[in-house]
Every structure is written in C-alpha cells, then in structure tokens.
Amino acid sequence: MEEAIQNWIQELTVQKRCSKHTIASYGRDLVFFRKFLEEHLGEEISLETFRNLKISDFRSWFSSRIGAGLVARSNVRALSSIKSFFRYLARRDLVNLKIIDSVRRPKLPQLLPKPLDENALTNFLNVDFFFANDKEWVTRRDRALFSLLYGTGLRINEALNIKTREVASEMEILTKGQKERILILLPLVLERIERYIASCPHNLDDGFLFVGVKGKRLHASAVDNRLQKLRLMHNLPDHASAHSFRHSFATHLLQNGADLRSVQELLGHESLSSTQIYTGIDDGSLLRVYEKAHPLER
C-alpha cells in the first residue's frame, strides 16, 4: 500500500505535473479516507481492503463527512482524490473500478464569479496614490501589479512568480498545474511595469518582479491584506480581492464582444466549461449581443 501511494504521488508530480497544492490536498484526502476505513471496518487497511470495498462503504464515508460539516465542494474534491488513486491502482490491475465509478459526486451549487464594476476598476487603477503615505515606487508597484492582473487575467501567484528578466510584450509563463502559457501584455500594462522597475530601489534584475519594501518576493497574502484596506478607501465592493481582477478580466471581455474560445485561451482554461460560467453573469449583455447579431434584428 505505502509503495503504491508513493508511486501515485510520483505520477501526479512528474507525469501529470499537478501543483504542490493539489498533490498535498490529494494526499491528505487519502490519509483521511484510510483513517475512516480503519474505524468503519475495524481492520488495518491494505490493497486487499480496497479491492473488497462496497458502494455502502463509500456512502458511509460521505455521510461521515457531511456529519462533520464538510461542504459539497470539499467532498467533491475528496472523491476526485480517491478516484485518482483508484484509477492508478486499476491501471496496474490492483483494483476494479466498477464500484468507485458508480459513486456519484455531490451536486455543487453554481456560484457565479463576482467581477468588479468596469468604471470603478478603471478609476481605482488610475488614482494618484493607493495609500497617501506610500513611497512613489510602492504605488507604481501596486498599479503595475493590479493592471497586470486585470489586463491578463493572471492568478495572483502566477503574477507574483514572474521574474524581472521574463518581462516582455509577449512572454511564456508557467500556470496552475505547471503548464506553459503565452501571455501578451497590453502596452499600458507593460509601460506601468517598466515605470515600476525604473523607480524600485531594490535590484530586481536577477529575482522576482514584484517585491515588498525589504526587497523580498511579494506574497499573495500581503496583496490581499492591502486590498482589504484599499476597498474601504476607494469604494470597492466587499468581494474585491486579487482574484476578482481575473473575474473582471473575463467578464468585461465577454461583455465587450469577445468570443468564449478566445477568453478560454487567455485565461488558460483547459476546458471550455470552466470559462462558460462567465456567460451567466450578465444576461443583459447577452441580450444586446443577440439583438445586434441576429438577422431579424438587422
């Protein structure tokens, strides 16, 4: 069992190139699943145990998670983790997938992303100072970072992992899951980054692009902490966060006529279904496009 688990983790890391966060979550889910089975079945868990599991065992597992107050999204992820391990074992003829494949995933409530208002966001990006007592280079750093997030749809950690030497109008970055993605910077975004670099008192040449006041890599938690204070000062909504810039990027592109496939590529989504959630945000915009495009309206 232990050897199988280590080989599975190795496969997730090397072949599937899953993120460290995903691998850690999958590993924890498997640990908790085994602990549940030990108590539920009253025996030490082995590969033979996995071969003999019944659908009722999985139902009991789900019931225990629900009873512990775990939400549907957490349960869906846990099931994905266990299924991933079972599929690994099945490819080596160690288990039969029939039982695990019959386990239905819980239904998730569809939570629509919350973008920021286009005008409010534009005004925010153009304020003279985000904090009145900030040094000019810090304001330029924040403006460059926020403009990059809104101008490209990058996730915050993707942006903070960019090295200064990588900055160009067209650049290649590693995205979630360690997959390569081509990033195109708008001229305004590139200009703001260059202005920040020119004014930063720290040497950025051989390190990360975005740094804190001590010259060390800026962390996502610091960015969100600043945003929580800034939203109160600049009339941004409660849901304003680093990730809301990504939601705003996708939503505003679609509202202004971009096609779904293009937005999918720009966001780096593997599946179009991941991008389609943004089409449910603004029905009024959809109606305007429909009226403008349909032959009966022309």
Catalytic residues: 155, 176, 243, 246, 269, 278
User: Is 64:57 a contact under the CB 8 Å cutoff?
Assistant: no
- The kind and range of the H/E element at 181 are strand 180-184
Q: Which residues pair with 184 in a beta bridge?
A: 170
Task: Please name the amino acid found at residue 269.
Answer: H
Helix (H, G, I), strand (E, B) or coil at 110: coil
- The kind and range of the H/E element at 172 are strand 170-174
User: Is 254:157 a contact under the CB 8 Å cutoff?
Assistant: no
Cα separations (Å) of 24 from 12, 58, 69, 73?
11, 22, 21, 17
| Phi, psi (rounded to 5 degrees) for 56 | -65, -30
Question: 206: Cβ–Cβ under 8 A, 6 or more apart, which residues?
Answer: 164, 165
